[in-house]
Structure formats: C-alpha cells, structure tokens
Amino acid sequence: MSEFTTGLDYAKEQDRQDKLASFRKKFHIPKDKNGNDWLYFTGNSLGLQPKTTKDYVNQELKDWANLGVEGHFYAKNPWLNYHEYLTKSMANIVGAKPIEVVIMDTLTTNLHLLMVSFYRPTKTKFKILIESDAFPSDRYAVQTQLDFHGFDAKEGIIEWRPRSGEDLLNIEDLETILEEQGDEIALLLIGGVNYYTGQYLDLKRIAEIGHSKNCMVGIDLAHGAGNIQPELHNSGVDFAAWCTYKYLNSGPGSLAGLFVHEKHANNKELKRFAGWWSHNKSTRFNMRQPLDIIPGAEGWQLSNPPILSMAAIKASLDMFNEVGIDALRKKSVKLTSYFHFLITDLKNEKIRIITPSNPEERGCQLSIKVKNADKSLHDKLTRENIITDWREPGVIRCAPVPFYNSFQDVFKMVEKLKEVLDD
Ligand SMILES: *Cc1c(COP(=O)(O)O)cnc(C)c1O
C-alpha cells in the first residue's frame, strides 16, 4: 500500500498541510504569457531567484557608490570579511565544520585547485577513478590533470560503471575495482549525486573503500548541496566542491563551495596554488610577508572575491537558515516520493524511472528514461511550459524542489505527461 493517493484533491490537501508552502511566494516563478506560473522542474540546473536577492545585491551596489574602496571596511557588510558571513550557513548545509568550508571561485576551478593538493601521483600510483557517467567538466578536469602530470589520460582514467543492462552504480563494484587496481589509483573523484541518474551514493562507504587502498577521495557535490544532507565531515572524504547556482539558488555562474576535511586543515606541506587571500589575515596587508597559509579551507582561496555574487549567495543562505535543511529534506523526500508514485501509476511503457526508488539513495531529482530516446516528449512538455531538461542519452531530468515546488505542481506535471505520452 502506498502512502499516496491519486487525484487533485489529495495534492491540494498536501499543500494545505505543508509547513513550507509559504516559501514559494518568496521566489520569482517564471510565468507564461497568460500570467500562469511555469511548472519549473529544473532547480537542479538553475535554481530560481529569491525575491530578496535584489535587495542584498543593491546594498552592495549602494555601498560601493557611496564609499568606494572604503566599503572594504565601512560597508554595512564590510567586504573584507564577506566570505566569512557565508561559512557557517554553508557548513551547516553540507554537514561540515566551519574550518572545512569556504565559498570561492567556481566549481571546476575549485576541483583543479583541490587536485593540485590532493592528486599527487607517483610513477606507479597515478590513476584517477571516476564514474563512467561523470559530468563532462569533471572528466575534462581529470584528463587534463593527468596530462599535466605527464600521464596518458586514456590509461590514467578508471571508470566505475553500471553493470551491463543496469543504470545505476553498485558499491560492490567499486570495492572490486579497488581490490584489483587500488595500488595504481591515486584519487577517487566521484559525483555525490550523479547528475544524470540522480543516484545519491554512500559517501562514507566510498571514503572507506578509497582510504583502505591509500587513495585520496574527492566528491563533486554540484547536485548534492542544498538537495541532500551529505554529512561531509562524518563521511571522512578528503575534499569536495560544489556550485551554488543549482539547488542553492544563487544565480547563473555564481561562486562555488570548497570543502577540505579538518584532518588536512593544518597540513602546510600540502602543495597548492596560492594567492594573497591564502595568506594570514592579520598580516595580509603588510604586503611584504612570506606566504603564511591560513589553516583550513580558507587557505585555498586565491583572490578577493566578487562581492555582488557573494551577496546573492548570502540572500539564498539566509533563507536556508530560516527554513533549515532538515525541514527541506523532509519535504523533499515526500514530494519526490509522491512524484515517483504518480509516474509509476501511469504504467506507461514508453517511460521508465532510472533514479533509485529508495529515497535514501536519491535527492529530489527523478530521471525518466524515454523509450527510443524520443526527444519529442521533452519538447512537448516544454511547449506546455513544463520546464524539465533533456540529457543525452534519452533522459528527461525533473526536479521538484521543496523550497518552491508544490504537490499541485507535481500533480499537474504528471497529468500533462500522461497527455503527451498518449498523444
Ligand atoms: C553543474 C556541474 C558542473 C559545472 O561546473 P562549473 O564549473 O560550475 O561550470 C560541474 N560538475 C558537475 C558534476 C555539475 O553538476
């Protein structure tokens, strides 16, 4: 027996009971030309804009206009320490200690900077393990790191792939790879929530398996941050990075998060690429000091950060603080389980959900595989102002986001899906 029921009345009742329902009004929801809200299911790609973002950014524009360079010290939120205002909230969201987290640069940049420190290949132990469905940017980053160190990328990349005929990764296969080839592997770089299938992997297990063969373990959390609760500190992974424009609603191309586990916080022997923002804050502006690295994640910073983008992140994180990641995740599990229930109930052979059905093994996204990779289905949804995204090969990704999607959104979406499938 399912906990869910079909029918619009049920969806309406769930929205009435939803304690987070009022947050929808705090976001700009794009509308069609008749003024109806789009059914926006792509928070996994670009989160919607909080209505407060404009005020946060305007504050910094105003302080810059009125204070010029003095804004570094006298702005309402002095720019010099701006990233510090974000650390605690961000650490909360990913389950880390403040010393382990900093907001800086962009995701792919951070992956490279982290690999400078944590990918230290030797002649015999140099390979990098990724998922066969790794995000292209991560794969290119890994390829070029191998190349940079003088290794052949073809030989140097080991792929963890689903078994033949399956869609999802199996942790036992990772164990086998490590047992057989672990002595040659220097680094595991894995998407914590896979962008294509939506599978949420067991980070703690991955860290244990990697560490048992003395490999470093890094996690790309682009699809995890603000979506699931990765408990980064307890997982024991060495490092992680994520962007803030997906589930963290901070605007296109906004800055990224970087995590370095506390166990590495005071290791000044780690190689790194540094800049003046890596240096001890109390002597940074004396300008003549030899490099004195800040302990923890802040020591990976290079540059003074773009405050306008930081302001948009602050607007979003303040909302996360207000609602709490526990409450968001709780609603998310219910909303996506409901979505899963309705799609399954269609019993339509043209589509198949490849995301795990167990809520513990997924975030809010469901990936729907379409028979014969028929992209016209996605196009028809888009024409109905149902915004999902198409990913080769043959998948429609849909993410009901607990912050701003409702049970009625999900209901209406599946009704339309049924219509276009029957078309
Ligand atoms: C979104 C995403 C990226 C994008 O990288 P940027 O540097 O922010 O452009 C990279 N990797 C993964 C896994 C992603 O989901």
Nearest CA to ligand 1 atom 8: 107
Pocket flag, ligand 1, residue 46 (CB < 6 Å): no
Ligand 1 atom closest to Cα of residue 107: 7
Nearest CA to ligand 1 atom 10: 137
Number of Cβ atoms within 10 Å of the Cβ of 173: 13
Residue 221 has pLDDT above 90, yes or no: yes
CA of 403 to the centre of ligand 1 (A): 21
Residue 69 has pLDDT above 70, yes or no: yes
CA of 419 to the centre of ligand 1 (A): 33
Q: What percent of the chain has pLDDT over 90?
A: 94
Residue 126 has pLDDT above 70, yes or no: yes
Pocket flag, ligand 1, residue 107 (CB < 6 Å): yes
Name the maximum alpha-carbon separation found in the chain: 71
Q: What average pLDDT does the segment 318-329 reach?
A: 98
CA of 391 to the centre of ligand 1 (A): 14
Pocket flag, ligand 1, residue 243 (CB < 6 Å): yes
- Cis ω on the peptide bond leading into residue 393 (within 30° of 0)? yes
pLDDT score of 82 = 96
* Helix/strand/coil for 390: strand
User: How much helix, strand and coil, in percent to the nearest 5, is found in the chain?
Assistant: 45, 15, 40
- Residue 203: name the closest of 247, 173, 238, 179 by CA: 238
Residue 118 has pLDDT above 70, yes or no: yes
Residue 373 has pLDDT above 90, yes or no: no
- Residue 307: name the closest of 103, 52, 79 by CA: 79
Pocket flag, ligand 1, residue 135 (CB < 6 Å): yes
pLDDT for 300-309, tens place per residue?
Answer: 999 999 999 9
Residue 236 has pLDDT above 70, yes or no: yes
Number of Cβ atoms within 10 Å of the Cβ of 150: 9
CA of 90 to the centre of ligand 1 (A): 18
Q: What is the CATH number of domain 8-51+325-422?
A: 3.90.1150.10
CA of 398 to the centre of ligand 1 (A): 17
Burial label for 164, CB within 10 Å (0-12, 13-18, 19+), is: exposed
The confidence band for 178, taking pLDDT boundaries of 50, 70 and 90, is very high
pLDDT score of 216 = 98
pLDDT score of 287 = 78
**pTM value?**
0.97
What are the structural domain ranges in the chain? 8-51+325-422, 82-321
Across the chain, what does the average pLDDT equal? 96
Residue 375 or 79, more confident: 79
The confidence band for 285, taking pLDDT boundaries of 50, 70 and 90, is confident
Ligand 1: residue of 109, 110, 243, 367 to mutate (most ligand atoms within 8 A of CB) is 243
Pocket flag, ligand 1, residue 195 (CB < 6 Å): yes
pLDDT score of 158 = 98
Q: What average pLDDT does the segment 260-275 reach?
A: 96
Pocket flag, ligand 1, residue 184 (CB < 6 Å): no
Pocket flag, ligand 1, residue 138 (CB < 6 Å): yes
Ligand 1 atom closest to Cα of residue 138: 11
- Choose which CATH entry (1.20.1090.10, 3.40.640.10, 3.30.930.10, 3.40.920.10) describes domain 82-321: 3.40.640.10
Ligand 1 atom closest to Cα of residue 111: 7
Ligand 1 atom closest to Cα of residue 222: 15
Distances (CA, A) of 319 to 309, 359, 362: 16, 24, 23
The confidence band for 213, taking pLDDT boundaries of 50, 70 and 90, is very high
Pocket flag, ligand 1, residue 220 (CB < 6 Å): yes
CA of 422 to the centre of ligand 1 (A): 35
pLDDT score of 288 = 81
pLDDT score of 251 = 98
pLDDT score of 218 = 98
Q: What average pLDDT does the segment 206-228 reach?
A: 98
Average the pLDDT over each of 166-180, 208-222, 379-393 and give the range with the smallest value.
Answer: 379-393
- CA dist., res. 419 & res. 380, Å (int): 10
Residue 273 has pLDDT above 80, yes or no: yes
Ligand 1: residue of 107, 219, 254 to mutate (most ligand atoms within 8 A of CB) is 107
Residue 1 has pLDDT above 70, yes or no: no
Residue 109 has pLDDT above 80, yes or no: yes
Pocket flag, ligand 1, residue 60 (CB < 6 Å): no
Pocket flag, ligand 1, residue 397 (CB < 6 Å): no
Q: What average pLDDT does the segment 327-335 reach?
A: 98
CA of 104 to the centre of ligand 1 (A): 14
